[in-house]
Structure 1
Amino acid sequence: MASSISFQLPLILVIPFLFLQINPSHSLACSSQKFSGNRVYDQCNDLPELSSFLHWTYDSSNSSLKIAFVAAPAKTGGWVAWAINPKAPAMLGSQSLIAYEDAGKMTVKTFDVSSYKIAPSKIAYEVSDMEAENADGTFTIFATIALPAKMTKINQVWQVGSAVADGIPAGHAMQKENLNSKGTLDLTMKAQNSSSTSSNSTSSNISNSTKSGVGDSILRNRNGISIFSFFTGILFLFV
Protein backbone atom coordinates (compact mmCIF):
# COMPACT_ATOMS: atom_id res chain seq x y z
CA MET A 1 0.00 0.00 0.00
CA ALA A 2 2.85 2.41 0.81
CA SER A 3 4.36 1.96 -2.65
CA SER A 4 0.97 2.64 -4.22
CA ILE A 5 0.66 5.90 -2.29
CA SER A 6 4.16 7.03 -3.27
CA PHE A 7 3.37 6.32 -6.91
CA GLN A 8 0.13 8.33 -6.88
CA LEU A 9 1.34 11.31 -4.83
CA PRO A 10 3.30 13.08 -7.62
CA LEU A 11 0.23 13.05 -9.88
CA ILE A 12 -1.99 14.31 -7.05
CA LEU A 13 0.40 17.18 -6.41
CA VAL A 14 0.72 18.12 -10.09
CA ILE A 15 -2.98 18.19 -11.03
CA PRO A 16 -3.95 21.05 -8.65
CA PHE A 17 -1.04 23.07 -10.06
CA LEU A 18 -2.39 22.56 -13.59
CA PHE A 19 -5.82 23.79 -12.49
CA LEU A 20 -4.27 26.97 -11.15
CA GLN A 21 -2.61 27.64 -14.53
CA ILE A 22 -5.92 27.78 -16.45
CA ASN A 23 -6.19 31.12 -18.23
CA PRO A 24 -8.88 33.30 -16.62
CA SER A 25 -10.42 34.08 -19.99
CA HIS A 26 -11.33 30.38 -20.29
CA SER A 27 -13.43 30.54 -17.11
CA LEU A 28 -17.04 29.44 -17.29
CA ALA A 29 -18.30 32.56 -15.49
CA CYS A 30 -17.55 36.14 -16.43
CA SER A 31 -17.21 37.15 -12.77
CA SER A 32 -13.95 35.19 -12.50
CA GLN A 33 -12.30 36.72 -15.59
CA LYS A 34 -9.47 39.22 -15.21
CA PHE A 35 -7.90 41.51 -17.79
CA SER A 36 -4.51 43.00 -18.54
CA GLY A 37 -3.76 46.52 -17.41
CA ASN A 38 -5.91 46.06 -14.30
CA ARG A 39 -8.99 46.83 -16.37
CA VAL A 40 -12.25 46.33 -14.44
CA TYR A 41 -15.89 46.73 -15.40
CA ASP A 42 -19.05 47.40 -13.44
CA GLN A 43 -21.07 44.58 -14.98
CA CYS A 44 -20.59 41.36 -16.88
CA ASN A 45 -22.76 38.90 -18.71
CA ASP A 46 -22.32 35.21 -19.58
CA LEU A 47 -23.79 35.37 -23.06
CA PRO A 48 -26.12 32.47 -23.90
CA GLU A 49 -24.44 31.41 -27.17
CA LEU A 50 -20.94 30.72 -28.53
CA SER A 51 -19.26 30.53 -25.08
CA SER A 52 -18.90 34.30 -25.09
CA PHE A 53 -18.76 36.95 -22.37
CA LEU A 54 -19.41 40.67 -22.23
CA HIS A 55 -18.03 43.04 -19.60
CA TRP A 56 -19.14 46.66 -19.55
CA THR A 57 -19.24 49.97 -17.74
CA TYR A 58 -21.88 52.51 -18.73
CA ASP A 59 -21.28 56.15 -17.83
CA SER A 60 -24.57 58.02 -17.95
CA SER A 61 -22.89 61.40 -17.54
CA ASN A 62 -21.47 61.23 -21.08
CA SER A 63 -23.36 58.22 -22.54
CA SER A 64 -20.15 56.23 -22.99
CA LEU A 65 -19.97 52.45 -22.95
CA LYS A 66 -16.68 50.74 -22.11
CA ILE A 67 -16.67 47.06 -23.09
CA ALA A 68 -14.55 43.93 -23.08
CA PHE A 69 -15.91 41.12 -25.24
CA VAL A 70 -14.40 37.65 -24.76
CA ALA A 71 -14.77 34.72 -27.17
CA ALA A 72 -12.74 32.18 -29.10
CA PRO A 73 -12.81 32.12 -32.91
CA ALA A 74 -14.38 29.09 -34.55
CA LYS A 75 -10.92 27.93 -35.69
CA THR A 76 -7.33 29.06 -35.49
CA GLY A 77 -6.97 31.96 -37.89
CA GLY A 78 -10.56 32.99 -37.39
CA TRP A 79 -12.27 36.06 -35.95
CA VAL A 80 -14.64 37.25 -33.23
CA ALA A 81 -17.09 40.15 -33.34
CA TRP A 82 -19.33 42.20 -31.09
CA ALA A 83 -21.77 44.76 -32.42
CA ILE A 84 -24.59 47.16 -31.70
CA ASN A 85 -27.49 47.28 -34.12
CA PRO A 86 -29.40 50.58 -33.77
CA LYS A 87 -32.56 49.11 -35.31
CA ALA A 88 -32.99 45.49 -34.22
CA PRO A 89 -31.14 42.51 -32.72
CA ALA A 90 -29.93 41.26 -36.10
CA MET A 91 -26.70 40.97 -38.07
CA LEU A 92 -27.60 43.18 -41.03
CA GLY A 93 -27.28 46.79 -39.97
CA SER A 94 -24.98 45.99 -37.07
CA GLN A 95 -22.16 48.39 -36.20
CA SER A 96 -19.42 45.89 -35.53
CA LEU A 97 -16.06 45.54 -33.87
CA ILE A 98 -14.21 42.57 -35.38
CA ALA A 99 -10.93 41.18 -34.04
CA TYR A 100 -8.51 38.85 -35.80
CA GLU A 101 -4.80 38.24 -36.31
CA ASP A 102 -3.16 40.23 -39.09
CA ALA A 103 0.45 39.39 -39.97
CA GLY A 104 0.84 37.70 -36.60
CA LYS A 105 -0.51 40.63 -34.58
CA MET A 106 -3.95 41.11 -33.10
CA THR A 107 -6.07 43.87 -34.58
CA VAL A 108 -9.63 45.11 -34.16
CA LYS A 109 -11.45 47.14 -36.79
CA THR A 110 -14.89 48.65 -37.25
CA PHE A 111 -17.30 47.28 -39.87
CA ASP A 112 -20.68 48.63 -40.91
CA VAL A 113 -22.44 45.37 -41.75
CA SER A 114 -25.08 46.80 -44.08
CA SER A 115 -24.81 43.88 -46.52
CA TYR A 116 -23.26 40.43 -46.76
CA LYS A 117 -20.20 41.95 -48.43
CA ILE A 118 -18.18 43.75 -45.78
CA ALA A 119 -15.02 45.82 -45.52
CA PRO A 120 -13.44 47.92 -42.76
CA SER A 121 -15.38 51.16 -42.49
CA LYS A 122 -16.57 53.87 -40.15
CA ILE A 123 -19.60 53.01 -38.06
CA ALA A 124 -22.46 55.01 -36.61
CA TYR A 125 -20.75 55.42 -33.24
CA GLU A 126 -17.48 57.02 -32.27
CA VAL A 127 -15.13 54.34 -30.96
CA SER A 128 -11.93 54.90 -28.97
CA ASP A 129 -9.40 52.83 -27.03
CA MET A 130 -9.81 49.90 -29.42
CA GLU A 131 -7.52 46.99 -28.66
CA ALA A 132 -7.55 43.22 -29.11
CA GLU A 133 -5.68 40.49 -27.28
CA ASN A 134 -5.17 36.77 -27.83
CA ALA A 135 -4.75 34.64 -24.70
CA ASP A 136 -4.18 31.00 -25.67
CA GLY A 137 -6.67 31.15 -28.53
CA THR A 138 -9.31 33.23 -26.74
CA PHE A 139 -9.73 36.76 -28.07
CA THR A 140 -10.73 39.87 -26.13
CA ILE A 141 -11.97 43.07 -27.73
CA PHE A 142 -11.58 46.25 -25.68
CA ALA A 143 -13.27 49.49 -26.72
CA THR A 144 -15.09 52.60 -25.55
CA ILE A 145 -18.18 53.54 -27.53
CA ALA A 146 -19.90 56.93 -27.52
CA LEU A 147 -23.64 56.31 -27.52
CA PRO A 148 -26.42 58.80 -28.28
CA ALA A 149 -27.65 60.65 -25.21
CA LYS A 150 -30.11 58.65 -23.07
CA MET A 151 -29.56 55.47 -25.06
CA THR A 152 -29.67 52.94 -22.22
CA LYS A 153 -30.88 49.85 -24.07
CA ILE A 154 -28.99 48.37 -26.99
CA ASN A 155 -29.46 45.57 -29.48
CA GLN A 156 -26.29 43.51 -29.30
CA VAL A 157 -25.00 40.92 -31.73
CA TRP A 158 -21.91 38.76 -31.31
CA GLN A 159 -20.33 36.21 -33.61
CA VAL A 160 -17.31 34.00 -34.30
CA GLY A 161 -15.84 32.84 -37.59
CA SER A 162 -13.23 30.44 -38.84
CA ALA A 163 -11.19 32.38 -41.41
CA VAL A 164 -9.93 35.78 -42.55
CA ALA A 165 -8.79 36.49 -46.12
CA ASP A 166 -6.90 39.68 -47.01
CA GLY A 167 -8.17 41.41 -43.89
CA ILE A 168 -11.81 40.50 -44.55
CA PRO A 169 -13.57 38.02 -42.22
CA ALA A 170 -15.10 35.08 -44.05
CA GLY A 171 -18.71 34.08 -43.45
CA HIS A 172 -19.62 32.38 -40.18
CA ALA A 173 -21.34 29.03 -39.68
CA MET A 174 -25.14 28.88 -39.82
CA GLN A 175 -25.65 26.65 -36.81
CA LYS A 176 -28.31 27.39 -34.19
CA GLU A 177 -25.83 29.03 -31.82
CA ASN A 178 -24.60 31.35 -34.58
CA LEU A 179 -28.10 32.40 -35.57
CA ASN A 180 -29.18 32.98 -31.96
CA SER A 181 -26.19 35.08 -30.89
CA LYS A 182 -28.15 38.30 -30.46
CA GLY A 183 -30.30 40.04 -27.89
CA THR A 184 -31.08 43.23 -26.03
CA LEU A 185 -29.09 44.67 -23.15
CA ASP A 186 -30.27 47.17 -20.55
CA LEU A 187 -27.16 49.14 -19.63
CA THR A 188 -28.74 50.46 -16.43
CA MET A 189 -29.72 47.05 -15.07
CA LYS A 190 -28.00 46.16 -11.82
CA ALA A 191 -26.08 42.93 -11.43
CA GLN A 192 -28.09 39.73 -11.10
CA ASN A 193 -27.16 36.12 -10.43
CA SER A 194 -29.92 34.61 -12.56
CA SER A 195 -29.18 32.63 -15.71
CA SER A 196 -30.82 33.05 -19.09
CA THR A 197 -31.51 30.56 -21.85
CA SER A 198 -33.07 33.07 -24.22
CA SER A 199 -30.84 34.83 -26.72
CA ASN A 200 -33.37 37.66 -26.83
CA SER A 201 -33.06 38.36 -23.12
CA THR A 202 -29.34 38.64 -22.59
CA SER A 203 -29.68 41.48 -20.12
CA SER A 204 -30.43 38.79 -17.54
CA ASN A 205 -27.70 36.49 -16.23
CA ILE A 206 -25.60 39.49 -15.22
CA SER A 207 -23.10 39.38 -12.40
CA ASN A 208 -20.78 41.98 -10.93
CA SER A 209 -17.23 42.12 -12.18
CA THR A 210 -15.03 42.06 -9.08
CA LYS A 211 -14.18 45.65 -8.20
CA SER A 212 -12.11 45.33 -5.01
CA GLY A 213 -9.29 43.36 -3.51
CA VAL A 214 -11.77 41.93 -0.98
CA GLY A 215 -13.88 40.50 -3.79
CA ASP A 216 -10.80 39.03 -5.47
CA SER A 217 -9.73 37.47 -2.19
CA ILE A 218 -13.14 35.88 -1.60
CA LEU A 219 -13.18 34.45 -5.11
CA ARG A 220 -9.68 33.03 -4.78
CA ASN A 221 -10.48 31.58 -1.37
CA ARG A 222 -13.60 29.85 -2.61
CA ASN A 223 -11.76 28.38 -5.58
CA GLY A 224 -8.86 27.35 -3.41
CA ILE A 225 -11.11 25.61 -0.86
CA SER A 226 -12.94 23.73 -3.62
CA ILE A 227 -9.71 22.50 -5.24
CA PHE A 228 -8.17 21.63 -1.87
CA SER A 229 -11.26 19.67 -0.78
CA PHE A 230 -11.42 17.76 -4.05
CA PHE A 231 -7.80 16.65 -4.06
CA THR A 232 -7.80 15.91 -0.33
CA GLY A 233 -10.62 13.48 -1.03
CA ILE A 234 -8.58 11.81 -3.79
CA LEU A 235 -5.59 11.52 -1.47
CA PHE A 236 -7.64 9.71 1.17
CA LEU A 237 -8.82 7.19 -1.44
CA PHE A 238 -5.22 6.02 -1.82
CA VAL A 239 -4.44 5.85 1.91
Structure 2
Amino acid sequence: MAAFCFLFIATVALLISPALSLTCTSQTFSQRNTTFANCLDLPTLKAFLHWTYSPTARPNPTLSIAFIAPPAKPDGWVAWALNPTGSGMLGAQSLIAFKDTNGSIVVKTYNISSYGPISESKISYDVLSKRAEYSGGVMTIFATLALPAAEAEVNQVWQVGAAVNNGVPAKHAFAPENLSSKNTLQLMSDAAAPSISPASAPSPAGRQSGNVTGGSSRILGSALGLYGVLVLLGVTYFGF
Protein backbone atom coordinates (compact mmCIF):
# COMPACT_ATOMS: atom_id res chain seq x y z
CA MET A 1 0.00 0.00 0.00
CA ALA A 2 2.82 2.42 0.81
CA ALA A 3 4.34 1.84 -2.62
CA PHE A 4 1.01 2.51 -4.31
CA CYS A 5 0.57 5.73 -2.32
CA PHE A 6 4.04 6.95 -3.31
CA LEU A 7 3.39 6.20 -6.99
CA PHE A 8 0.05 7.99 -6.81
CA ILE A 9 1.54 11.15 -5.25
CA ALA A 10 4.47 11.20 -7.69
CA THR A 11 2.12 10.90 -10.66
CA VAL A 12 -0.04 13.79 -9.46
CA ALA A 13 3.07 15.95 -8.94
CA LEU A 14 4.22 15.27 -12.50
CA LEU A 15 0.82 16.25 -13.85
CA ILE A 16 0.51 19.51 -11.95
CA SER A 17 4.09 20.83 -11.89
CA PRO A 18 4.41 21.54 -15.65
CA ALA A 19 1.16 23.55 -15.59
CA LEU A 20 2.43 25.73 -12.78
CA SER A 21 5.69 26.37 -14.63
CA LEU A 22 3.89 27.87 -17.63
CA THR A 23 3.73 31.38 -16.17
CA CYS A 24 6.16 34.27 -16.36
CA THR A 25 6.43 34.45 -12.59
CA SER A 26 8.18 31.07 -12.50
CA GLN A 27 10.89 32.04 -14.98
CA THR A 28 14.49 32.84 -14.12
CA PHE A 29 17.46 34.06 -16.13
CA SER A 30 20.97 32.71 -16.55
CA GLN A 31 22.56 35.92 -15.27
CA ARG A 32 21.60 36.21 -11.62
CA ASN A 33 21.57 40.02 -11.60
CA THR A 34 18.95 40.17 -14.38
CA THR A 35 15.57 41.24 -13.00
CA PHE A 36 12.54 43.12 -14.29
CA ALA A 37 9.75 45.03 -12.60
CA ASN A 38 6.88 43.36 -14.47
CA CYS A 39 6.05 40.28 -16.49
CA LEU A 40 3.24 39.05 -18.70
CA ASP A 41 2.07 35.74 -20.16
CA LEU A 42 1.42 36.66 -23.79
CA PRO A 43 -1.75 35.13 -25.28
CA THR A 44 -0.20 33.32 -28.26
CA LEU A 45 2.87 31.40 -29.45
CA LYS A 46 3.84 30.25 -25.91
CA ALA A 47 5.52 33.63 -25.43
CA PHE A 48 6.30 35.74 -22.37
CA LEU A 49 7.46 39.30 -21.78
CA HIS A 50 9.39 40.71 -18.82
CA TRP A 51 9.92 44.48 -18.74
CA THR A 52 11.04 47.49 -16.76
CA TYR A 53 9.88 50.93 -17.85
CA SER A 54 11.82 53.99 -16.67
CA PRO A 55 9.79 57.07 -17.69
CA THR A 56 12.12 59.51 -15.89
CA ALA A 57 15.37 58.23 -17.37
CA ARG A 58 17.48 60.88 -19.07
CA PRO A 59 17.87 61.96 -21.78
CA ASN A 60 14.97 59.68 -22.80
CA PRO A 61 12.62 57.21 -21.11
CA THR A 62 13.84 53.63 -21.45
CA LEU A 63 12.15 50.25 -21.81
CA SER A 64 14.16 47.15 -20.92
CA ILE A 65 12.68 43.81 -21.97
CA ALA A 66 13.23 40.08 -22.01
CA PHE A 67 11.07 38.38 -24.62
CA ILE A 68 10.86 34.59 -24.32
CA ALA A 69 9.45 32.18 -26.90
CA PRO A 70 10.26 28.90 -28.64
CA PRO A 71 11.03 29.28 -32.36
CA ALA A 72 8.72 27.34 -34.66
CA LYS A 73 11.62 24.95 -35.36
CA PRO A 74 15.09 24.64 -33.76
CA ASP A 75 16.75 26.57 -36.60
CA GLY A 76 14.04 29.21 -36.67
CA TRP A 77 13.71 32.66 -35.14
CA VAL A 78 11.74 34.73 -32.63
CA ALA A 79 10.84 38.40 -32.83
CA TRP A 80 9.49 41.15 -30.62
CA ALA A 81 8.61 44.65 -31.79
CA LEU A 82 7.04 47.97 -30.97
CA ASN A 83 4.83 49.57 -33.57
CA PRO A 84 4.57 53.36 -33.17
CA THR A 85 2.24 53.80 -36.15
CA GLY A 86 -0.17 50.85 -36.02
CA SER A 87 -1.17 47.67 -34.27
CA GLY A 88 0.10 45.02 -36.69
CA MET A 89 3.20 43.96 -38.55
CA LEU A 90 3.48 46.89 -40.96
CA GLY A 91 5.47 49.59 -39.20
CA ALA A 92 6.81 47.20 -36.56
CA GLN A 93 10.24 48.17 -35.26
CA SER A 94 11.51 44.66 -34.70
CA LEU A 95 14.19 42.80 -32.80
CA ILE A 96 14.71 39.34 -34.31
CA ALA A 97 16.90 36.62 -32.77
CA PHE A 98 18.25 33.58 -34.60
CA LYS A 99 21.37 31.44 -35.06
CA ASP A 100 23.95 32.93 -37.41
CA THR A 101 26.13 30.85 -39.73
CA ASN A 102 28.57 30.22 -36.88
CA GLY A 103 25.83 28.88 -34.62
CA SER A 104 25.85 31.94 -32.36
CA ILE A 105 22.57 33.56 -31.31
CA VAL A 106 22.34 37.09 -32.66
CA VAL A 107 19.76 39.88 -32.41
CA LYS A 108 19.25 42.14 -35.42
CA THR A 109 16.92 45.07 -36.03
CA TYR A 110 14.35 45.30 -38.81
CA ASN A 111 11.95 48.06 -39.82
CA ILE A 112 9.02 46.09 -41.25
CA SER A 113 7.80 48.46 -43.94
CA SER A 114 6.22 45.92 -46.34
CA TYR A 115 4.99 42.34 -46.58
CA GLY A 116 7.90 41.40 -48.84
CA PRO A 117 11.31 40.01 -47.87
CA ILE A 118 12.91 41.80 -44.94
CA SER A 119 16.44 43.14 -44.59
CA GLU A 120 18.40 44.30 -41.58
CA SER A 121 17.98 48.02 -40.96
CA LYS A 122 17.93 50.66 -38.27
CA ILE A 123 14.70 51.11 -36.35
CA SER A 124 13.05 54.26 -35.08
CA TYR A 125 14.09 53.58 -31.47
CA ASP A 126 17.63 53.89 -30.19
CA VAL A 127 18.73 50.40 -29.17
CA LEU A 128 20.92 50.90 -26.11
CA SER A 129 21.69 47.20 -25.71
CA LYS A 130 20.63 43.86 -27.19
CA ARG A 131 21.58 40.21 -26.88
CA ALA A 132 19.94 36.81 -27.03
CA GLU A 133 20.19 33.34 -25.52
CA TYR A 134 18.98 29.91 -26.66
CA SER A 135 18.47 27.15 -24.13
CA GLY A 136 16.08 24.24 -23.79
CA GLY A 137 14.41 24.99 -27.13
CA VAL A 138 13.55 28.54 -26.08
CA MET A 139 15.04 31.83 -27.26
CA THR A 140 15.22 34.94 -25.12
CA ILE A 141 15.78 38.45 -26.47
CA PHE A 142 17.18 40.98 -24.01
CA ALA A 143 17.13 44.63 -25.07
CA THR A 144 16.89 48.18 -23.80
CA LEU A 145 15.25 50.78 -26.01
CA ALA A 146 15.17 54.54 -25.64
CA LEU A 147 11.66 55.87 -26.23
CA PRO A 148 11.11 59.34 -27.70
CA ALA A 149 8.78 60.38 -24.87
CA ALA A 150 7.08 59.03 -21.77
CA GLU A 151 4.05 56.90 -22.68
CA ALA A 152 1.43 54.99 -20.73
CA GLU A 153 1.09 52.26 -23.34
CA VAL A 154 2.66 51.02 -26.57
CA ASN A 155 1.64 48.64 -29.35
CA GLN A 156 3.66 45.43 -29.25
CA VAL A 157 3.94 42.64 -31.80
CA TRP A 158 5.67 39.28 -31.42
CA GLN A 159 6.29 36.40 -33.80
CA VAL A 160 8.13 33.12 -34.36
CA GLY A 161 9.41 31.50 -37.53
CA ALA A 162 10.70 28.12 -38.67
CA ALA A 163 13.73 28.96 -40.82
CA VAL A 164 16.53 31.39 -41.57
CA ASN A 165 17.82 31.42 -45.15
CA ASN A 166 21.28 32.88 -45.81
CA GLY A 167 21.08 34.96 -42.66
CA VAL A 168 17.57 36.26 -43.37
CA PRO A 169 14.52 35.16 -41.31
CA ALA A 170 12.04 33.39 -43.58
CA LYS A 171 8.30 34.03 -43.54
CA HIS A 172 6.38 32.86 -40.51
CA ALA A 173 3.26 30.71 -40.62
CA PHE A 174 -0.14 32.34 -41.08
CA ALA A 175 -2.06 30.34 -38.52
CA PRO A 176 -4.55 32.22 -36.31
CA GLU A 177 -2.10 32.45 -33.41
CA ASN A 178 0.53 34.00 -35.69
CA LEU A 179 -1.91 36.55 -37.03
CA SER A 180 -3.17 37.52 -33.58
CA SER A 181 0.22 37.92 -31.90
CA LYS A 182 -0.17 41.59 -31.04
CA ASN A 183 -1.70 43.73 -28.31
CA THR A 184 -1.29 46.89 -26.27
CA LEU A 185 1.33 46.79 -23.54
CA GLN A 186 0.40 48.87 -20.49
CA LEU A 187 3.82 50.11 -19.48
CA MET A 188 2.81 51.14 -15.98
CA SER A 189 -0.11 48.81 -15.33
CA ASP A 190 -0.95 48.48 -11.63
CA ALA A 191 -2.04 44.92 -12.33
CA ALA A 192 1.28 43.79 -13.79
CA ALA A 193 2.94 40.94 -11.96
CA PRO A 194 6.34 41.43 -10.35
CA SER A 195 9.02 39.63 -12.33
CA ILE A 196 11.14 37.05 -10.57
CA SER A 197 14.77 37.45 -9.65
CA PRO A 198 16.72 34.20 -10.04
CA ALA A 199 17.94 34.45 -6.45
CA SER A 200 14.47 34.19 -4.87
CA ALA A 201 11.68 32.82 -7.03
CA PRO A 202 8.38 32.64 -5.10
CA SER A 203 5.40 30.48 -5.88
CA PRO A 204 3.94 31.35 -9.33
CA ALA A 205 0.72 32.66 -7.87
CA GLY A 206 1.40 36.38 -8.38
CA ARG A 207 -0.97 38.71 -10.19
CA GLN A 208 -0.68 39.24 -13.90
CA SER A 209 -1.90 41.95 -16.23
CA GLY A 210 -5.21 41.88 -18.06
CA ASN A 211 -3.61 40.71 -21.32
CA VAL A 212 -2.76 37.26 -19.96
CA THR A 213 -3.74 34.20 -21.93
CA GLY A 214 -5.99 31.63 -20.28
CA GLY A 215 -3.79 28.77 -21.46
CA SER A 216 -2.06 28.22 -18.14
CA SER A 217 -5.38 28.11 -16.32
CA ARG A 218 -6.76 25.59 -18.80
CA ILE A 219 -3.72 23.36 -18.45
CA LEU A 220 -3.91 23.53 -14.69
CA GLY A 221 -7.60 22.70 -14.86
CA SER A 222 -6.82 19.66 -17.01
CA ALA A 223 -4.19 18.54 -14.53
CA LEU A 224 -6.62 18.91 -11.65
CA GLY A 225 -9.19 16.96 -13.64
CA LEU A 226 -6.71 14.13 -14.06
CA TYR A 227 -5.95 14.45 -10.36
CA GLY A 228 -9.63 13.80 -9.64
CA VAL A 229 -9.59 10.72 -11.86
CA LEU A 230 -6.55 9.41 -10.04
CA VAL A 231 -8.19 10.06 -6.69
CA LEU A 232 -11.21 8.06 -7.83
CA LEU A 233 -8.95 5.26 -9.02
CA GLY A 234 -7.10 5.38 -5.72
CA VAL A 235 -10.33 5.01 -3.80
CA THR A 236 -11.50 2.19 -6.06
CA TYR A 237 -8.32 0.16 -6.26
CA PHE A 238 -6.21 1.18 -3.30
CA GLY A 239 -8.90 1.73 -0.68
CA PHE A 240 -8.00 5.33 0.30
Calculate the TM-score normalised by the size of structure 1: 0.75
- Kept in 2, the 8 Å contact 1:161–1:170? The answer is yes
Hey, what's the Cα distance between the residues in 1 that align with 2:15 and 2:118? 42
Q: Which residue of 2 aligns with 1:143?
A: 143
Q: Which residue of 2 aligns with 1:156?
A: 156
2:82 counterpart of 1:96:
no
- Kept in 2, the 8 Å contact 1:42–1:211? The answer is no
- Kept in 1, the 8 Å contact 2:21–2:204? The answer is no
Deviation at 1:139, TM superposition (A): 0.6
One-letter amino acid matched to 1:37: Q
- Kept in 2, the 8 Å contact 1:95–1:111? The answer is yes
The CA deviation string for residues 172-223 of structure 1, in whole angstroms up to 9 with x for no partner, is 1111111111111121112x2xxxxxxxxxxxxx422135966x24559xxx
2:139 counterpart of 1:107:
no
Instruction: For residue 177 of structure 1, give the secondary structure of its aligned residue in structure 2.
Output: helix
Hey, what's the Cα distance between the residues in 1 that align with 2:182 and 2:14? 37
- Kept in 1, the 8 Å contact 2:83–2:154? The answer is yes
Q: Which residue of 2 aligns with 1:181?
A: 181
Q: Which residue of 2 aligns with 1:34?
A: 28
The CA deviation string for residues 85-143 of structure 1, in whole angstroms up to 9 with x for no partner, is 11011101110000011121111111111122211111111112211111111110000
Hey, what's the Cα distance between the residues in 2 that align with 1:56 and 1:212? 15
The CA deviation string for residues 57-83 of structure 1, in whole angstroms up to 9 with x for no partner, is 001112100000000111121110000
Hey, what's the Cα distance between the residues in 2 that align with 1:121 and 1:96? 10
One-letter amino acid matched to 2:145: I
Hey, what's the Cα distance between the residues in 1 that align with 2:5 and 2:104? 43
Q: Which residue of 1 aligns with 2:211?
A: none
Q: Which runs of 5+ in 1 are unaligned?
A: 193-205, 221-229
Aligned-residue CA RMSD (Å): 3.3
Higher RCO (CA-CA < 8 Å; seq separation 6+): 2
Hey, what's the Cα distance between the residues in 2 that align with 1:212 and 1:135? 16
Q: Which runs of 5+ in 2 are unaligned?
A: 206-226
Instruction: For residue 158 of structure 2, give the secondary structure of its aligned residue in structure 1.
Output: strand
Deviation at 1:13, TM superposition (A): 6.5
In structure 2, the CA distance between the partners of 1:32 and 1:217, relative to structure 1 (3 Å rule), is closer
Aligned length: 211
Deviation at 1:55, TM superposition (A): 0.5
- Kept in 2, the 8 Å contact 1:110–1:122? The answer is yes
Aligned sequence identity (%)? 46
